[in-house]
């Protein structure tokens, strides 16, 4: 699936890098975009993780809400992203691939950004960047993908699910990019 979605992944990474993540305000907007997306994917990915992976999905929503509260803000964009995703476990597997696969990039960002962010704002918990439970769920998903036979139509549904996830995250980033951070 990696080869099939690589171009979408690279475009999405570039979009999120535009938030200037080394600055607290950029990191805040990165969190806001992730929180907007989580509202849409959260329940569906959590159900897939429980039913298929026998591994709980990390509490991304709670982590994001906690960190956004540290900024005195919450996730609101001009438009709420939607999820155009076919039904079924293979589409859910693809969506979960996108959501949990992002944890690899976030782990790298933690190593790169945590020192700069703490220097600028020592009061930030950086819980979303520091999360390691998502990596455990990612490992469980990679085993599931390796061990679950898929027909060509089933693989196509998984790819459609992954692509829908990339579109969701892209739309969330766009919504945040045009919306000022609301204050409590």
> DSSP 3-state assignment of 147?
helix
Query: What's this model's pTM, rounded to 2 decimal places?
Result: 0.90
Q: 73 in helix, strand or coil? A: strand
Asked if 78 and 179 count as a contact pair (C-beta separation under 8 A), the reply is yes
Looking at residue 106, its pLDDT comes to: 84
> For 58, which DSSP code?
P
> Could you tell me the residue ranges of all domains in the chain?
2-177
Indicate the length of the chain as a whole number.
Answer: 184
pLDDT in tens, the chain (184 residues): 888 888 988 899 889 888 988 899 999 999 999 999 998 999 999 999 999 999 999 999 999 999 999 999 876 655 677 788 888 999 999 999 999 988 888 888 888 888 999 899 989 999 998 988 888 999 999 999 999 999 999 999 999 999 999 999 999 999 888 766 666 5
| CA gap 145, 1 in Å, rounded | 9
Is there a contact between 90 and 166 (Cβ–Cβ < 8 Å)? no
Cα–Cα distance for residue pair 159/140, rounded to 1 Å = 18
Spatial neighbors of 109 by CB under 8 A, at least 6 apart, are 21, 129
Q: 12-49 burial, b for 16+ CB within 10 Å, e for fewer?
A: beebbeebebeebebbbbbbbbbbbbbebbbebbbebb
Going from the C-alpha of 149 to that of each of 47, 152, 178, the distances in angstroms are 20, 10, 42
User: Domain 2-177 carries which CATH code?
Assistant: 1.20.910.10
| Residue 181 DSSP label | P
pLDDT at 148: 97
| Half-sphere exposure in the Cβ direction for 171 (13 Å, CA) | 19
């Amino acid at each position: 699936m990696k080869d099939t979605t690589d171009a979408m992944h690279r475009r999405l990474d570039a979009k999120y890098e535009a938030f200037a993540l080394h600055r607290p305000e950029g990191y805040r907007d990165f969190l806001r975009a992730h929180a907007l997306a989580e509202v849409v994917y959260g329940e569906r990915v959590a159900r897939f993780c429980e039913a298929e992976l026998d591994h709980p999905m990390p509490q991304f929503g709670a982590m994001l809400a906690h960190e956004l509260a540290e900024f005195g803000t919450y996730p609101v964009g001009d438009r709420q992203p939607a999820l155009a995703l076919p039904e079924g476990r293979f589409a859910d597997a693809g969506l979960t691939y996108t959501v949990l696969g992002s944890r690899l990039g976030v782990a790298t960002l933690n190593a790169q950004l945590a020192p700069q962010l703490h220097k600028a704002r020592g009061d930030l918990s950086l819980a979303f960047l520091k999360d390691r439970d998502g990596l455990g769920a990612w490992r469980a998903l990679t085993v599931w993908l390796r061990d679950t036979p898929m027909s060509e139509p089933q693989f196509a549904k998984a790819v459609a699910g992954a692509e829908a996830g990339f579109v969701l995250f892209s739309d969330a980033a766009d919504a945040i990019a045009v919306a000022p951070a609301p204050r409590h």
